Structure 1
Amino acid sequence: MKHRFLSKRYWNSKETAMGESGKLTNEYSDLINLSLGDPDLITDERIIDAAMNDAKCGHTHYTDFLGDLELRNEILKYYKDDYNLNYTDDEIMVTTSGCHAMWLVLEAILDDGDEVIIHEPCFTPYPQQIELARGRTVVLETYEEEEFQVNVERLEKLITNRTKALIVNTPNNPTGTCFSEDTINDISFIAKKYDLIIIADDIYTSFSYSEPFIPISSIDGMKERTITIGSFSKNFVMTGWRVGYVVAPDYIIKTIVNINENNVFTAPSVSQRAAIYALRMRKEISNYIVEEYKKRMYYSYKRICNIPNMSTLSPRGSIYLFVNIKKTGLSSTEVCNKLLDEAHILALPGNTFGSCGEGYIRLALTVSIEKLKIAFDRIEKMDIFN
């Protein structure tokens, strides 16, 4: 919207389908919301009780600028225990969510006009986050025929003298793809060859169903050029707590601490206390969450396989299915509009996640199997899928 009192940077900004979906949640009383990745599960009661007790005991103040020391130590222990990665205390900073972490990182590393490569379909905020940090987005398209893996030959052709970084998101939102070990190794080779920074958006690490998650920072020679963004939102169903973190070389951490002093100062203290208990109890808490979503993924996959004009790759990771609807002859937006109007199901069109997402819709499996059954029963009756 153009207005003399608004920054010209925002005159042409548009609301995304993800943002617009929030306005539609009350459209119908029987609406089934499969649009946003906000889990229906509630944060484990043990985490809530422990954080509440800590708040009553006085953990209601600013924390250290790097984050609660106890939480940082738990993050150190987590990377050592689960991935045999050794980090020091000055290589970790706690942030107010993974999105906040991404903005801090981009702000710290980009000069005006620096290029950041993103693989599409991708998490919708990436391009604008890059632009806010005065960078330039370069798109690498991925395709269902290649299981949405990064094609390193096409990647290499996009690299210029201004290429600074590559954002890697696996397990992926929205496609659910988990990059293979070969893909991770190939990306690492390119990063070292061209002296690039890898920003690893590791938000869905628990949701890798067929193969264990491999941090790209664990590849030989990658730790010093990888910035890892973590979050408690999905792995521990803690979206509302707004707590994430950055793991990176100490000079990057020092820089984002200084930037953050002029932004939100510190992440919420009570949320940081909750994150401590989430990590300490991660195996018993996370296992239940992952198994629940795995059941939903495979249930939905089987239902989609039996619906004409719908198809999807078998579940690999994340909490999403990226569904091919090209046989309907309609656009992604048209299909989502019909789902809403005729079946009272809210989903996101694939082109929200990049132009190569056209012909797909994303289903966030954030409701129970009972509700998913109702949703797919409604879909089966729609003319466009028959």
Structure 2
Amino acid sequence: MARLSERISGIVGAGGDDGWSVYYRARALAEAGAPVVMLTVGDHDIKTDPAILAAMRASQERGNLGYPPVPGSAALRRAIAGRVSARTTLAAATAQVLVVPGGQAGLFASLTAVLDPGQSCIVLDPYYATYVQTVRAAGGRAIVVPTSAEDGFQPDAARIEAALAPDTRAILINTPNNPTGAVYAPERLAAIADLCVRRDLWLISDEVYDVQVHEGRHASPRDLLGMADRTLVVNSLSKSHAMTGSRIGWVLGPEAAIARIGELATTTTYGVPGYIQDAAEFAMTEGAEIEAAIAARYRRRRDAVLESLGNARAVRANAPAGGMYVMLDIRPTGLSGLDFAHRLLEAEYIAVMPGESFGTAAAGHLRVALTRPEAVLRDALARLVAFAGTLAA
């Protein structure tokens, strides 16, 4: 085989077990018939609402099956701009929106837009599993800056500034955060915004959990002084409307930047199928109750998990303020998150993600996805706590 490019060969990078071995082992056990409780990846246990699917079918039956407008349909872009304008201080215009096939595509497009080959981007640890790889895929270099459990996994602007390199062009943040559930405090976001303005940096804000806020409120850094022209917001309907498989999201940013990112879309995705866009428009304009019900479901499940922990000695919760996960601190057991997760799977057939899957700052933690019914979650957490107790005894 002829040699592949360094860029594509280096996306994943070298290293040992990053924790995904637990997930693949759990999948294999489940396929072999074992009663595995999967609390690993953040895919819903509920289906896309029938009303959204009906809108999708109706669009197909109308013949909306050809090439779509690459930037997105005018109707969907207006709906997205309207959603943003209603929920933030700063209004959004249709021309500031690009429709993309899911948040992941939006992340790649945004990083490609702001990084020249070899330039660096700050990524906060713990981070969503693809972040570092996506920076590499865009030709960049990730500078990983840790946050700490003791500080609620909140970002520290001074620590970020100390990590900047001469070639740093962007900071990537995610609030509400996956995996930690942290909702970044307004003063922390303001400090990051000040840093971006002073050092002429782009801010890429992943806001896919913006409606899943259990405590406090979500704030978009795009609203802050001086940030409208240097912020790219990535969002999708995957989490808010249980449309993970539909692959529908958007990038919001300065009009000139969105135009250039649209040119990238022409050479990569060539748009999102029109019938999916029509379903997304319906979800945004008619699906407020659907969105609210999904958010409430995860809030109830979050509360059930925290209640199930009780006063456990060996397991402590970092109570999430948002999102659809709970981070558990199992350091009192003396095990790494990776070792604990493997042993839990073997002993109890409960599959969770080790904190080490998301960087090093969450070592000794577990991420529990709230993607099973409340009764299942309560039972699984009770068994997890009992198992941890045997290790810490």
Q: TM-score range by the shorter chain?
A: over 0.9
Give the 4+ runs in structure 1 shifted more than 3 A: 3-9, 11-20
Q: 1:119 touches 1:150 (CA, 8 Å); kept in 2?
A: yes
One-letter identity of the residue aligned with 1:199: I
Alpha-carbon displacement from aligned partner over 1:2-47 (angstroms, at most 9, x marks no partner): x765444427746853486246324143111110000111111111
State the distance in 2 between where 1:61 and 1:84 align: 37
Work out whether residues 201 and 230 of structure 1, in 8 Å CA contact, stay in contact via their aligned partners in 2: yes
Q: Secondary structure at the match of 1:27?
A: helix
Q: By how many angstroms is 1:133 displaced?
A: 1.5
Q: Residue 50 of structure 1: CA displacement?
A: 1.4
Aligned counterpart for 2:41 among listed residues 24, 29, 36: 36
Q: Name the residue aligned to 1:323.
A: 328
Q: How far apart are 1:74 and its partner, in Å?
A: 0.3
Q: How far is 1:327 from its partner? A: 0.6
Q: Is the 8 A contact 1:18 1:35 kept in 2?
A: no
2:158 paired residue number: 153
Q: Which amino acid aligns with 1:92?
A: V
Q: Distance in 2 between matches of 1:195 and 1:71?
A: 32
Identity %: 27
Provide Cα deviations, 1:153-203, integer angstroms capped at 9, x if missing partner.
111111232110000100000000000111111111111111110000011
CA distance, structure 2, for counterparts of residue 103 and residue 188 of structure 1: 22
Aligned to 1:221: 226
Q: Distance in 2 between matches of 1:290 and 1:317?
A: 9
Could you tell me how far apart the structure 2 residues matched to 1:245 and 1:335 are?
37
Alpha carbons of structure 1 residues 20 and 343: separation in structure 2 relative to 1, 3 Å: closer
Asked whether the 8 Å contact 2:96–2:252 carries over to 1, the reply is yes
Residues 1:384 and 2:391 are matched in the alignment: yes
Confirm or deny that 1:10 pairs with 2:24: no
How far residue 223 of structure 1 moved from its aligned partner, in angstroms, is: 0.9
Specify the alignment match of 1:135 in structure 2.
140
Match of 2:253 among 248, 255, 262: 248
Ranges in structure 2 where 5+ consecutive residues have no aligned partner = none
- Distance, in Å, in 2 between the alignment partners of 1:333 and 1:154 is 27
CA contact (8 A) 1:301 1:315 kept: no
1:266 paired to 2:265 = no
**Structure 2 counterpart of 1:346, from 340, 347, 351:** 351
CA contact (8 A) 1:305 1:312 kept: no
Query: Counterparts of 1:367 and 1:118 in 2: how far apart (Å)?
Result: 30
Q: Aligned pair 1:52/2:51, yes or no?
A: no
Structure 1 range deviating more: 70-79 or 8-17: 8-17
CA distance change for structure 1 residues 10 and 197 in 2, over 3 Å: closer, same or farther? same
Letter in 1 for 2:391: I
| Counterpart-to-counterpart distance in 2, 1:380 and 1:148 | 23
Q: Deviations over 1:206-232 (max 9, x none)?
A: 111111211110112211110000111
Q: Deviations over 1:86-126 (max 9, x none)?
A: 22222111001100111111112211221100111000111
Tell me the equivalent position of 2:129: 124
In structure 2, what is the equivalent of residue 24 of structure 1?
26
Mapped partners of 1:286, 1:159: distance in 2: 38
State the partner residue of 1:86: 91
Q: Which runs of 5+ in 1 are unaligned?
A: none
- Alignment check: 8 A CA contact 2:181 2:319 kept: no
CA distances 1:31-85 after superposition (whole Å, capped 9, x unpaired): 1111000011111111111111111111212211101111001011111122243
* In 1: Cα distance, 2:275 partner to 2:162 partner: 46
SS at match of 1:205: coil
2:346, 2:378 → 1: CA distance? 18
Amino acid at match of 1:265: Y
The one-letter amino acid of 2:318's match is L
CA–CA separation in structure 1 for the residues paired with 2:2 and 2:43:
36
- The residue aligned with 2:202 is 197
CA contact (8 A) 2:22 2:351 kept: no
In the alignment of these two chains, the number of paired residues is 384
Q: TM-score, normalised by structure 2?
A: 0.93
Distance in structure 2 (CA, Å) of the matches to 1:82 and 1:70: 19
Q: Which secondary structure state, in structure 2, belongs to the residue aligned with residue 200 of structure 1?
A: strand
Q: Which residue type is aligned with residue 319 of structure 1? A: M
Deviations 1:121-161 (A, max 9, x none): 00011111111222111111000111111111111111232
320-329 vs 270-279, greater mean Cα deviation: 270-279
Equivalent of residue 100 in structure 1, options 93, 96, 105: 105
In structure 1, distance between residues paired with 2:21 and 2:105? 17
Looking at structure 2, the residues matched to 211 and 369 of structure 1 have their Cα atoms a distance apart, in angstroms, of: 23
Q: CA deviation at 1:385?
A: 5.6
